[in-house]
């Protein structure tokens, strides 16, 4: 079980090790820390087989990953696979403690083991078929099972930002990767299957529909107005102020005027950067500060913390040939909860037609969240 340790300009130390089934695990530490624990589990070699099938009606790829039916589902805390290992119970993380750990998902949606497949689905020549190639990683924010991202201190939150940047850079450079997507699902209502504080990173072999649409609209807006759509949106929201929830010298968090979800925020840096890797030290530190601020507001809005999805919007990788010059990195934070005990369900209009019916007024939501300072 070998590993390589490398210093990083971002101010952290990364140690790469190998798990018992051949998957990689990387430890990120604010100061140099020996990471030599061995995975003692008896695991078969990690192999997964996914497919992508192209929907010719919508022009979108669908990932088929039937092996995920057997993944771990809401185990009790004493059986959590994301907690540090103990002599009595080895877990996915061999060390007895850690700051931030990233490992290859044991039940990934995308596969690094491509199969030989026909070009189309059997009996459907108009449905293209390809390998579900890609990378899926789990990012553990803390070894404390009972914590959450909202409860991290600013230094640890900043370390997570550095980790997102480090993993984005490495995965974006991998062959066949068209987009890197960092995200967190938080709360059982969202569909979280492990309650330990963690997020995920997907490296897609295609450009996601949302990213493709944004890229197209940025280009069209530039042609029509001669300016950056993200930049104009940020300027107008900061000028109006009525939907701004919080801001600092580097970032602004506001409820988008076209919000779809009951509680929704966009976090944009004031200075344009295309992806997380481009953020400088000041932007990374200021993001950690503002993000903890707004997560605290989400946690305090109702009697119990809101479930949420935090989704980083980054551009397609350069190899796709799609334009990146107008991309403006942003974090999309939203919750399905529309009141203390009610959720927003994606019913007939949303699920059937993709037309959202909003249950809340963006200006009211912004005022509510501002009051929770």
pLDDT in tens, 35-72: 999 999 999 887 788 899 999 999 999 999 876 666 66
Q: What is the mean pLDDT of residues 89-108?
A: 96
Closest CA to 344 of 245, 259, 222, 272: 259
Between 9 and 216, whose confidence is greater? Answer: 216
CA atoms of 83 and 73, how far apart (whole Å): 15
- Inform me whether the pLDDT recorded for 4 exceeds 70: no
Measured in degrees and rounded to the nearest 5, phi and psi for residue 350 equal -70, -50
Number of Cβ atoms within 10 Å of the Cβ of 16 = 15
Q: Tens of pLDDT along 354-368?
A: 999 999 999 999 999
pLDDT band at 276 (very low <50, low <70, confident <90, very high): very high
Model confidence band, residue 8 (pLDDT cutoffs 50, 70, 90): very low
- Euclidean distance between CA atoms 225 and 231, whole angstroms: 12
The answer, yes or no, to whether residue 1 has pLDDT greater than 60, is no
Q: Which residues are catalytic?
A: 198
* C-alpha separations of 102 from 59, 192, 216, 232 in Å: 33, 18, 33, 36
Q: What does 141-169 look like in DSSP terms, one character per residue? A: --S-TT--GGGS-HHHHHHHHHHHHHHHH
DSSP state of 316: P
Q: Does residue 23 contact residue 48 with C-beta atoms inside 8 Å? A: no
Q: Which residues are annotated as a binding site?
A: 80, 83, 145, 196
At 10 the pLDDT is: 58
Average pLDDT over every residue of 181-198 = 93
* pLDDT value of residue 46: 78
Q: Which domains does the chain have, with CATH numbers?
A: 47-71+107-133 (no CATH), 210-370 (3.30.428.10)
Whether 287 and 243 have beta carbons less than 8 Å apart is answered as no
Q: Which residues are annotated as a binding site for Zn(2+)?
A: 80, 83, 145, 196
pLDDT at residue number 73: 61
For residue range 63-73, list pLDDT tens digits in order: 998 766 666 66
- Residue 84's pLDDT band, with cuts at 50, 70 and 90, is very high
CA dist 351 and 346 (Å) reads 5
Q: Is the pTM of this model over 0.75?
A: yes
Q: How far apart are CA 290 and CA 247, in angstroms?
A: 7
Instruction: Identify any residues that bridge with 17 across adjacent strands, giving them in sequence order.
Output: 25
* Residue 69: predicted pLDDT: 61
Residue for token pair 């030290």: 281
Q: Greatest CA span in the chain, whole angstroms? A: 64
Residue 2 — very low, low, confident or very high, per pLDDT cuts 50/70/90?
Answer: very low
């Amino acid at each position: 079980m070998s590993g390589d340790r490398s210093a990083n300009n971002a101010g952290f130390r990364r140690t790469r090790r190998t798990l018992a089934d051949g998957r990689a695990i990387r430890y990120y530490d604010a100061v140099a820390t020996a990471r030599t624990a061995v995975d003692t589990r008896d695991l078969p070699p990690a192999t997964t087989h996914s497919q992508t099938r192209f929907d010719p009606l919508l022009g979108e790829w669908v990932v088929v990953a039937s092996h995920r039916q057997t993944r771990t589902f809401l185990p009790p805390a004493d059986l959590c696979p994301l907690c540090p290992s103990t002599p009595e119970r080895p877990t996915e993380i061999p060390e007895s403690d850690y700051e931030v750990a990233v490992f290859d998902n044991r039940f990934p949606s995308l596969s690094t083991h491509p199969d030989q497949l026909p070009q189309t689905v059997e009996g459907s020549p108009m449905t293209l078929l390809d390998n579900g190639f890609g990378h899926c990683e789990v990012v553990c924010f803390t070894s404390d099972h009972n914590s959450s991202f909202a409860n991290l201190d600013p230094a640890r939150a900043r370390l997570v930002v550095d980790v997102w940047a480090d993993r984005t850079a490495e995965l974006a450079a991998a062959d066949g990767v068209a987009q890197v997507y960092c995200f967190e699902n938080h709360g059982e209502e969202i569909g979280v299957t492990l309650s330990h504080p963690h997020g995920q990173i997907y490296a897609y072999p295609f450009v996601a529909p949302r990213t493709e649409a944004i890229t197209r609209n940025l280009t069209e807006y530039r042609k029509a107005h001669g300016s950056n759509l993200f930049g104009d949106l940020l300027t107008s929201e900061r000028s109006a102020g009525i939907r701004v929830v919080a801001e600092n010298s580097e970032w602004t968090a506001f409820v988008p005027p076209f919000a779809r979800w009951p509680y929704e925020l966009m976090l944009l840096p004031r200075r344009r950067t295309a992806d997380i890797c481009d953020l400088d030290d000041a932007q990374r530190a200021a993001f950690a500060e503002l993000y903890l601020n707004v997560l605290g507001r989400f946690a305090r809005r109702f009697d119990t913390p809101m479930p949420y999805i935090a989704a980083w919007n980054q551009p397609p990788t350069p190899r796709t040939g799609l334009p990146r010059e107008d991309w403006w990195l942003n974090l999309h934070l939203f919750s399905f909860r529309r009141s203390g005990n009610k959720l927003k369900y994606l019913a007939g209009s949303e699920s059937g037609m993709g037309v959202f019916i909003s249950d809340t007024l963006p200006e009211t939501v912004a005022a509510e969240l501002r009051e929770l300072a």
